């Protein structure tokens, strides 16, 4: 009857909702009702070693050991057998658990009865179950057929636990991956490389070429040029397009968190590590990882990234285990990495690994013919976000946009158009649409261009040679101030606010332009 209860308990365990550790422990407890052991252990076979999964009746340090078949001949004999083995009390082979039993922790050579069951699944050895007792004849009454069934059911239990663990890990990875991707999609929805300029067409051709390969790529360019859009374009045209593309801004991470974010960590690795967590490399397995501002990472982390590129190996913080990943890496930076290498702030070997096929993203000042397209896109997006009617950009506003040097590139254009739409919506001229005028841009662009003539050197279209540069600047300043005064019913205070200028500065400028008489003291 005890034997039937044991089998029933094992069968019940197979369908119970328990963690892997609990399932293994429950298996050993169920066996104890019919096998009078003093100690039992369940192992996973991993190469030529046995890794303990659960134990009962053994001292805690037994679980921290790795049992080599070469050093433990009894375990080797069990692994080489096709059926359970019962070692005689006079066996000359040393028992691996001598001195490890909790009932006799200090005694040596006291284990007399020893039973070992090899656990097979589909003909493959996956584990070993051992039972030990101090009584020499403790296991003599157990039929061979019964032990065979125990071995089959224990093997099935291991397979079930492995499958459930794999499903749980996959669900966890998918959940974390979905969270990352949803945040990423939300922040980048609808963005694509816009423009018809020659330099953008050339960039598109290079993206198409690079996407066909598996090369690691380094995307170079100033802040705000759209390096992340280039990375997305490479991924979306590659054979990995159906796999995840993950993004990480390295500049936004303190060095203490960057390693965990990239490579993951195990529970207890540091304060706040309350559970195991995958890093971006593991989450992006099979897909692409885009590391923005890679030049901000420390030399130590750079060394680990190099190992991932070379060997595909990822080691979580606090873990001794290596995980293998298949990730295409795209990196970006606005730094001069050749200079960083010379200054020993960036690893030369990593630089050469990343620089297999560099892509240079042109600044906005090098493709000013694309500004109307970009401005229209940003205006339309701002209109949708603010729930406004149609937004138009006047010819004067486009002319002003084309004359600016754009140190902040496309990102700066996006911000300025967003602010201008909001300003224009505060006092619309028409109920059908909102129009952006130069006065709505003046606070951002007017002073920068027209009080600093040196910035005009980057204008896209040369001024007529029969017109003085000084007179051209003066004419445009005059036009801006007149428009601001007209929109504010002649109020200098209102015009100053519209132009985002200090009122006294506006008065001085207007006086120099002849729009206002100099005040008498």
Pairing of strands 433-436, 390-393: parallel
Q: How many residues does the chain have?
A: 521
What whole-number distance in Å separates Cα of residue 394 and Cα of residue 372? Answer: 11
Helix (H, G, I), strand (E, B) or coil at 127: strand
Alpha-carbon distances, residue 402 vs 201, 398, 462, 484, 506 (angstroms)? 20, 6, 12, 20, 24
Backbone angles phi, psi at 343, to 5 degrees: -85, 5
Beta bridge partners of 317: 265
DSSP conformation letters of 356-384: TEEEEPPPGGG-GGGHHHHHHHHHHHHHH
Beta bridge partners of 45: 50
Beta bridge partners of 124: 121
Q: Which tokens belong to 254?
A: 């303190």
Largest Cα–Cα separation, the chain: 120
Let me know: does 78 contact 158? Beta carbons within 8 Å.
Answer: no
Catalogue all structural domains in the chain, each as residue range(s) with its CATH number. 2-165 (3.30.450.40), 190-362 (3.40.50.300), 366-512 (1.10.8.60)
Backbone angles phi, psi at 328, to 5 degrees: -90, 130
Helix (H, G, I), strand (E, B) or coil at 34: coil
Q: Which tokens belong to 369?
A: 């013919």
What whole-number distance in Å separates Cα of residue 200 and Cα of residue 194? Answer: 8
What whole-number distance in Å separates Cα of residue 262 and Cα of residue 315? Answer: 10
**CA nearest to 282, candidates 318, 322, 325:** 325
Query: What pTM was estimated for this model as a whole?
Result: 0.57
Q: What is the pLDDT of residue 471?
A: 64
Alpha-carbon distances, residue 7 vs 125, 141, 479 (angstroms)? 21, 17, 94
Query: How many CB atoms within 10 Å of residue 122?
Result: 7
Q: How confident is the prediction along the chain (521 residues), in pLDDT tens digits per residue?
A: 455 555 565 556 545 545 555 778 887 887 787 788 899 998 988 889 998 888 999 888 888 788 999 989 999 999 999 988 889 888 888 888 887 888 765 555 567 789 888 888 788 888 898 989 888 888 888 888 877 877 777 777 677 666 555 545 555 545 554 445 444 544 444 457 888 899 999 999 999 999 999 999 999 999 999 999 999 999 999 999 888 889 899 988 888 789 999 999 998 888 888 888 888 999 899 999 999 999 999 999 999 999 999 999 999 999 988 999 999 999 999 999 999 999 999 999 999 999 999 999 999 999 999 999 999 989 988 988 888 888 889 888 998 898 888 999 999 999 999 999 998 888 777 667 888 988 888 777 754 444 444 333 333 333 343 434 466 667 777 878 888 888 888 888 888 888 878 888 888 888 888 887 654 43
Helix (H, G, I), strand (E, B) or coil at 119: strand
What whole-number distance in Å separates Cα of residue 314 and Cα of residue 304? Answer: 8
Q: What is the pLDDT of residue 59?
A: 84
Q: Provide CB contacts within 8 A for 252, sequence distance 6+.
A: none
Let me know: does 207 contact 234? Beta carbons within 8 Å.
Answer: yes
What whole-number distance in Å separates Cα of residue 512 and Cα of residue 502? Answer: 16
Q: Provide CB contacts within 8 A for 39, sequence distance 6+.
A: 55, 56, 57, 58, 97, 100, 101, 102, 103, 111, 131, 132, 133
Q: Which residue has the tokens 């922790």?
A: 105
Q: Which tokens belong to 37?
A: 């052991």
Ordered strands of the 85-87 beta sheet:
67-68, 49-56, 39-46, 124-133, 113-121, 85-87
């Amino acid at each position: 009857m005890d034997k039937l209860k044991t089998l029933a308990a094992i069968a019940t365990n197979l369908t119970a909702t328990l963690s892997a550790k609990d399932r293994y422990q429950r298996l050993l407890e169920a066996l104890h009702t019919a096998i009078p052991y003093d100690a039992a252990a369940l192992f996973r076979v991993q190469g030529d070693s046995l890794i303990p999964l659960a134990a009962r009746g053994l001292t805690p340090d037994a679980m921290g050991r790795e049992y080599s078949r070469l050093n433990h001949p009894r375990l080797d004999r069990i692994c080489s057998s096709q059926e359970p083995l019962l070692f005689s009390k006079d066996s000359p082979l040393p028992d691996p658990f001598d001195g490890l039993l909790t009932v006799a922790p200090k005694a040596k050579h006291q284990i007399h009865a020893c039973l070992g069951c090899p656990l097979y699944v589909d003909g493959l050895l996956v584990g070993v179950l051992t039972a030990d007792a101090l009584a020499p004849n403790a296991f003599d009454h157990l039929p061979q057929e019964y032990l065979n069934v125990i071995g089959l059911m224990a093997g099935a239990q291991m397979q079930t636990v492995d499958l459930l663990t794999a499903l749980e890990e996959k669900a966890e990875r998918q959940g974390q991956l979905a969270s990352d991707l949803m945040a990423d999609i939300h922040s980048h929805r609808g963005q694509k490389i816009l423009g018809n300029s020659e330099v953008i067409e050339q960039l598109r051709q290079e993206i198409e070429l690079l996407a066909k390969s598996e090369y690691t790529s380094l995307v170079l360019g100033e802040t705000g040029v759209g390096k992340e859009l280039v990375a997305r374009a490479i991924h979306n045209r590659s054979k990995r397009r159906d796999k995840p593309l993950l993004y990480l801004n390295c500049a936004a991470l303190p060095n203490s968190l960057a390693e965990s974010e990239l490579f993951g960590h195990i529970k207890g690795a540091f304060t706040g590590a309350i559970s195991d967590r995958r890093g971006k490399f593991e989450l992006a397995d099979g897909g692409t990882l885009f590391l923005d501002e890679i030049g901000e990472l420390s030399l130590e982390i750079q060394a680990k990234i190099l190992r991932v590129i070379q060997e595909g190996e990822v080691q979580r913080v606090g873990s001794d285990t290596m995980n293998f990943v298949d990730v295409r890496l795209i990196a970006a930076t606005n730094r001069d990495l050749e200079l960083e290498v010379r200054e020993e702030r960036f690893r030369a070997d990593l630089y050469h690994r990343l620089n297999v096929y560099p892509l240079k993203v042109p600044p906005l000042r090098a493709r000013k013919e694309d500004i109307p397209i970009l401005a229209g896109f940003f205006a339309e997006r701002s209109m949708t976000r603010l729930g406004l009617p149609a937004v138009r950009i006047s010819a004067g506003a486009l002319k002003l946009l084309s004359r600016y040097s754009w140190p902040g590139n496309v990102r700066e254009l996006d911000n300025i158009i967003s602010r201008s739409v909001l300003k224009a919506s505060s006092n619309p001229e028409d109920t059908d649409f909102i129009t952006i005028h130069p006065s709505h841009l003046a606070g951002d662009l007017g002073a920068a261009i027209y009080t600093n003539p040196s910035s005009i050197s980057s204008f896209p279209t040369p001024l007529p040679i029969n017109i003085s540069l000084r007179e051209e600047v003066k004419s445009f300043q005059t036009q801006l101030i007149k428009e601001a005064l007209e929109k504010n019913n002649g109020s200098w205070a209102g015009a100053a606010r519209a132009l985002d200028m200090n009122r006294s500065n506006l008065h001085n400028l207007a006086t120099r332009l002849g729009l206002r008489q100099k005040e008498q003291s």
